[in-house]
Amino acid sequence: MVDEKRLISKITWKLMPFLGILYLIAYIDRQNVSFAKLQMVDALGLSEYAYGLGASLFFIGYFLFEVPSNLFLDRLGARVWFARILVSWGLVTIALAFTQNAAMFYILRFLLGVCEAGFFPGVLYLLTLWFPSGYRGRMVGLFMIFSAIANAVGAPLGGALLDLDGLYGFAGWEWVFLATGIPAVIAGVVTFFYLPGRPENASFLSREERSWLERRLASENAGMDENAGNGFKALVDPRVLLMALCYIAFPLSAYGLSYWLPTIVKAFGVSNTVNGFLNVIPWLLVAGALYAVPAMADKAQSKTPYIVIPAFIGAACLLLSALIPNHTVQFAFLCVAAAGIFAPQPVFWSLPSRFLKGAGAAAGLAAINSVGNLGGFVAQNVVPWIKDESGSTIAPMFFLAACLAAGALLVFFVTRQLSSREAAAAPSRI
């Protein structure tokens, strides 16, 4: 007889630390532009808005290629496709160190989005193949903790790399891209040899464990409609479209804050290195929230409060950070706001997997994430524009607060609507 807790623990230890390390590398590669900006803007002669436009082109490439990427993942398997993703984005990141002008910066940022497209939703899809639904919220939370670790590690790393300015003839911002691109290439090679694809081919599981997991996942999928596993029909499923609309506010506020936070702290008058270490603090709070909130949500009948309440707390803290002029108080509110932005996201991702499976899950999750990540494009354009227009580094927080509060309200109404539609067929946990 299979011990369920032991089996889930075995799968967790096999997959989650490795996937988390890959996400750590990915997130550092996404956020390195926030520290490179502190020197790169002057080096290339760009305005804050022009740099923000270039940085945000990542999300356009990501948006255009995310769904195709996840469909290739479903066909080729995680081991092959994740290895391709990592190696290609690492090479583009290294190429960013040799940027000569604005046009080259724009092209490479777009290509970085193309190369990385599909990684995050690919992991979400992979979790649907390995974990029963009751465990997925916690697994996504564990996975996303590495984004907080990435910001915590990337912040002092970015500050320290900037201070290497002139070493071996490279500027500090060039060191930022070199030092963050090379690990992705190495990790891609390791991924090809380490990462298992599907449970039925997993050598680290016994035959009985593989059979139990297959039966458990099949029984959960049996209650879904026949279109749940159709990749193309999932793209026009109204539930997928509503989830995508709800999700926009979270990447918008997350990328808006993480991209702009080093600039806010720099305005306090600290050095690059001190800036980096101060930026560790909010991500420690985020890591704790990413563990606690999904764990509580997995035990709750209704998931909605664990999405909406933290988001409203985050919006309130963003607003207060812009209203109170004291630097210490501003920073404290921004730390809590970061936790409020990130903590609901694993809980949110447990919702669409309740009505998507197979290729439908691959396409649907990618669609939700690709549309939602357009919020990152909006943030990295609007935030520097607000700063350029207002002359204030803290003023963009009004915009982020409004977007996050609107997103929380939308989640509340959409999940209520979905719950009422499904109540006649079966009790809903949304």
Domain ranges of the chain: 16-192+227-422
Q: What is the reported pLDDT for 402? A: 96
Q: What percent of the chain shows pLDDT beyond 70? A: 92
Q: What is the reported pLDDT for 293? A: 93
16-192+227-422 is classed CATH 1.20.1250.20: yes
**What is the tens place of the pLDDT at every residue in 313-354?**
999 999 999 999 888 999 999 999 999 999 999 999 888 866
DSSP assignment string, 142-164: HHHHHHHHHHHHHHHHHHHHHTT
Q: What is the reported pLDDT for 234? A: 66
Q: What percent of the chain shows pLDDT beyond 90? A: 34
- The mean pLDDT of the chain is 85
The closest alpha carbon to 66, from 228, 294, 253, 244, belongs to 244
Q: Residue 123: enclosing H or E segment and its boundaries?
A: helix 119-130
Q: What is the reported pLDDT for 121? A: 86
Q: Whole-angstrom Cα distance, residue 219 to residue 74? A: 21
Could you tell me the CA-to-CA distances from 298 to 123, 136, 347, 369 in Å, in that order?
19, 8, 8, 21
Q: Whole-angstrom Cα distance, residue 102 to residue 404? A: 31
Q: Whole-angstrom Cα distance, residue 359 to residue 348? A: 20
What are the residues whose beta carbons fall under 8 Å from the beta carbon of 329, sequence distance 6 or more? 321
Q: What is the reported pLDDT for 252? A: 92
Q: Rounded to two decimals, what is the model's pTM? A: 0.77
Q: What is the reported pLDDT for 423? A: 61
**What is the tens place of the pLDDT at every residue in 243-258?**
888 899 999 999 888 8
Q: What is the reported pLDDT for 188? A: 95
More confident residue, 267 or 314: 314
Q: What is the reported pLDDT for 91? A: 96
**What is the tens place of the pLDDT at every residue in 351-406?**
886 667 666 777 788 888 888 888 878 887 888 889 888 888 889 999 999 999 99
Does the pLDDT of residue 2 top 60, yes or no? yes
Vertex 190 angle, CA 186 and 193, to 5°: 155
**What is the tens place of the pLDDT at every residue in 177-187?**
999 899 999 99
Which residue type, as a one-letter code, is found at position 98?
F
Q: Whole-angstrom Cα distance, residue 330 to residue 209? A: 51
